[in-house]
Amino acid sequence: MCNCGENLRDQRYTALEKTLKKYRHTTGKIIPVLQEIQDIFGYVPIEAIREVSRELKVPSSEIYGVVTFYGQFHLQARGKNIIRVCTGTACHVQGGGKILEAITDYLGLKDGKMTSDDMMFTLEPVACLGACGMAPVMMVNEDAYGRLTPDEVPAILARYDENRKQKDDEKCIA
């Protein structure tokens, strides 16, 4: 079995330790520390908050307050690719809900989770993307896809999944 995920995890925690060591005897450096942590993990894990609290001797309640105050920080891991699905009226009447379903099915999202287990995708339903004429619409990162049908979804996502940058020219509208 592949255990490269384990290594990745170790590397991140080694990096975390290094960061904490660097800031150990500082005061007031919570935000730079959290920025480095977000760079390492892509988000600020709760466990890291506990570590920062211990090392910098700042109550975790205070750190949590800082993390949730600033827009830059996320408490949940986010996927490599961000899928934004339009839930505006036009997309809704054109079956946007079915598109959403197709995506959650493909990613295996359950119980309100928005990020796939392999950390490849995060799903973000958004209000109108402003391409009603192309409804239903979704965007993967910067690429917009319009006039979607549910059965096209897996093929489109698969391309990002394998990290290939080719786009479906027929469907890509931007």
Partner 1 sequence: MTAITVSINGIKTTVPEGTSILQAAAGAGVHIPTLCFHPDQEVKANCRICVVEVEGRNNLAPACATAVSEGMVIKTATRRVLAARRTILELILARHPQDCLHCSRNGTCELQQLAAEYDVRYNRFPRDEWQLPLDYSTPGIVRDPNKCVLCHRCIEVCTAVQTVNALGLANRGYDTQVVPSIDHDLFESPCVMCGQCIHACPVAAITERDQIDELMEAISDPEKVVVTQIAPAVRLALSEEFGGEPGRLRMEQLVDGLQKIGFDYVLHTNFAADLTIWEEGHELLERLQEGRNLPMFTSCCPGWVRFAEVYYPGLLNHLSTCKSPQQMFGALVKTYWAEKMGIDPEKIVSVSIMPCTAKKYEAVRPEMIDSRYADVDMVLTTREIARLFRMTGIDPLKLAGAFPAPWMGEYTGAAVLFGASGGVMEAALRTVCELQGGTLEKIDFCDVRGMKGVKEATVYLNGKPVRVAVAHSLSNARVLMEQVAAGESPYHFIEVMACPGGCIGGGGQPLTRTDRDRARRMQAIYDEDRGRQRRKAHENQEVKALYQDYLGSVMSHKAHELLHTRYTLKRKNT
Partner 2 sequence: MHSLKEMRREFQRAFNVSTNRVKVAIGLGTCGIAAGGEKVWNAVNEYVENEGLDVDMMSTGCLGMCYAEPIMEVHMPGEPRFVYGNVKPETAVEILERHLKYGRPSPEYIVGQDPRGFEPAPNIMELKDTGFFKSQVKTVLGRCGIIDPEQIAHYIAFGGYEALEKVLSEMSQIEVIEEIKRSGLRGRGGGGFPTGRKWEAAYNSPGPKKYVICNADEGDPGAFMDRSILEGDPHSVLEGMAICGYAIGADEGYIYVRAEYPLAIKRLRKAIQDAEAMGILGDNILDSGFSFRIRIAAGAGAFVCGEETALMHSIEGKRGMPRVRPPYPAQSGLWGKPTNINNVETYANVPGIIRKGADWFAAMGTDNSKGSKVFALTGKIRRTGLAEVPIGISLRDVVFDIGGGIQNDRKFKAVQIGGPSGGCIPASHLDTPIDYDSLIQLGAMMGSGGLVVMDEDTCMVDVARYFLKFTQEESCGKCTPCREGTMRMLQILERICQGQGGPEDIDTLENLALVVKSTSLCGLGQSAPNPVLATLRYFRSEYEEHIFNKKCPAGICVELLDIIIDPAACKGCTLCKNVCPADAITGERKKPHSIDPEKCIKCQACIMKCPFGAITKG
Type of residue found at 145? Y
> With CB under 8 A as the contact rule, which of the stretches 55-63, 106-114, 125-133, 147-155 interacts with partner 1?
55-63
Q: How far is residue 148's CA from residue 136's CA, in Å, rounded to a whole number?
A: 6
Instruction: Give residue for tokens 């119980």.
Output: 111
What is the DSSP-derived secondary structure letter of residue 81?
Answer: E
- Residue 23 makes contact with partner 1 by CB under 8 A: no
Distance CA 118, CA 75 (A): 17
Binding of residue 76 to partner 1 (CB under 8 A): no
- Kindly write out the interface string for residues 28-67 of this chain, putting x where it contacts partner 2 by CB under 8 A and - elsewhere: xxxxx-xx----------------------x---x--xx-
* Structure token digits, residue 150: 């549910």
91 interface partner picked from partner 2, partner 1, none, CB below 5 to 8 A per type: partner 2
Nearer to partner 1 by C-beta: 111 or 170?
111
